[in-house]
Amino acid sequence: MSAGRRLFRLGLLLALLGLAVGVYFYWWLEYPRRPPAGPAVVVDFPFGTPTTQIFQRLDREGVVRPAWLAELYYRVARSAAALQAGEYQFDRPTPLSTVLDRMERGDVLRHIVVVPEGLTAEETFELFWSRGISRPEAFRNALKSRQLIDSIAKGAPDLEGFLFPDSYVVTRSTSAHRIVETMLANFRRHFTPEMRTRAQATGLSERDAVILASIVQKETSLDREAPLIAGVYWNRLRHRMRLQADPTVAYALKRDGKWTGTLYRSDYGYESPFNTYLVDGLPPGPICNPGEDALKAAIAPAATEYLYFVADRTGGHTFSRTFEEHLEAIATTRRQRAAAPTPETPPAQAERPAARPSGR
């Protein structure tokens, strides 16, 4: 056998051996037979993370192994498509092609943030930043962004009241500005042109309607009561009576960092333009972000003669036309609480001034 033929056979053997090794390692990366290393893992790759560090991190987390082989395959076969930064969730282990496909598409982990009705802007934003989505300062800047304010509430100092409560799908990289934009667009969809026309017909500006709706929202958790609550406040405004709404006092204290979680009788004298026990008419701005039912109630209140209401033991309210009826309702509520305190109204809170004997 000639030397040339021997060299050819040796080369062919080495090539076949190399191919076999390549196929073996590819099979190893694509069809890992290792037992699951526990629940899925979330891996965050900040912008600018070097490729080598990406694969080392995936190796440490048990997603793909070994790191050097996974990186080698990527650089040889897939490097034309960049791996995108972001937060990803992977099973342990995951086929390498699946990892690369998702990172090339930027198929990052999405978070669902549920924003309940009646939260302040600060409380709303905390739902996001507490999960690592943007930063407090970025949200506060967006809240006072003149560009965003002028798009929906021109002349207002901030966007309190217009951050519509809903479920929002975001990623770790979604900016605070983008989140606020989305919430404002959602408000626009729910506070329709017809509703704006109705508000104007009643003599309220759009922002005044939101202010009134925010008070209604904080006063009751029962949607069926919202028109009645709004009707009481409309009647008070028509009679030039102060609204005397407890939630406005709580909000004033929150704004100034003095809220303890409990409203005391002495708080009714707290000096603030938001304290409707001391100032006439509506407060200067919304006290929370109201939902659709409260917004509808504010512009279409129930036709009623009620001027007062007091919280009862059922989670609702007792409504009264006169101050004398109101005092009797307060006395009845206190007797019921004293006779059968419940977890919702514990004895320690039975003497809180929630009954508002001074007027409401």
Q: Which two tokens stand for residue 2?
A: 């000639």
Residues 100 and 120 in one domain: no
Residue 256 falls inside a structural domain: yes
What is the separation of C-alpha 333 from the centre of its chain, rounded to a whole number of angstroms? Answer: 35
Cβ atoms of 286 and 210 closer than 8 Å: yes
Residues 236 and 283 in one domain: yes
- Omega before 35 within 30 of 0, i.e. cis: no
Residues 118 and 91 in one domain: no
Residue 227 falls inside a structural domain: yes
Residues 30 and 146 in one domain: no
Q: Note the pLDDT of residue 315.
A: 82
Query: What CATH number does residue 63 fall under?
Result: 3.30.1490.480
Residue 299 falls inside a structural domain: yes
Residues 179 and 207 in one domain: no
**Domain end point (choices 149, 167, 190):** 190
Residues 207 and 336 in one domain: yes
Residue 75 falls inside a structural domain: yes
Residues 25 and 84 in one domain: yes
Q: Note the pLDDT of residue 5.
A: 60
Residues 247 and 319 in one domain: yes
Residues contacting 81, CB < 8 A, separation 6+: 100, 104
Cβ atoms of 41 and 61 closer than 8 Å: yes
Residue 2 falls inside a structural domain: no
Residues 28 and 101 in one domain: yes
Domain extent, residue 167, equals 110-190
Residues 297 and 275 in one domain: yes
State the 10-residue block means of pLDDT for the chain, 360 residues long: 57 48 50 66 93 95 90 90 93 91 94 97 97 95 96 94 97 95 97 93 93 96 93 96 96 94 94 97 97 96 95 88 93 82 42 38
Give the amino acid at 83: L
Q: Note the pLDDT of residue 286.
A: 98
Q: Which residue has the tokens 């997603």?
A: 63
Residue 294 falls inside a structural domain: yes
Residue 295 falls inside a structural domain: yes
pTM over 0.95: no
As for how many domains the chain has, the answer is: 3
Residues 232 and 300 in one domain: yes
**Domain end point (choices 105, 138, 161):** 105
Helix H or strand E segment including 87:
strand 86-90
Q: Note the pLDDT of residue 45.
A: 94
For residue 226, count other CB atoms closer than 10 A to its CB. 26
Q: Note the pLDDT of residue 110.
A: 94
Beta bridge partners of 311: 317
Residues 120 and 83 in one domain: no
**Domain end point (choices 162, 190, 218):** 190
Q: Note the pLDDT of residue 29.
A: 53
The angle at the Cα of 208, spanning 206 to 209, to the nearest 5 degrees, equals: 65
Q: Note the pLDDT of residue 34.
A: 61
Q: Note the pLDDT of residue 18.
A: 47
Residue 3 falls inside a structural domain: no
Instruction: Return the axis-axis angle of helices 226-238 and 206-219, rounded to nearest 10°.
Output: 120
Residues contacting 61, CB < 8 A, separation 6+: 41, 43, 90, 92
Q: How far is residue 274's CA from residue 265's CA, in Å, rounded to a whole number?
A: 16
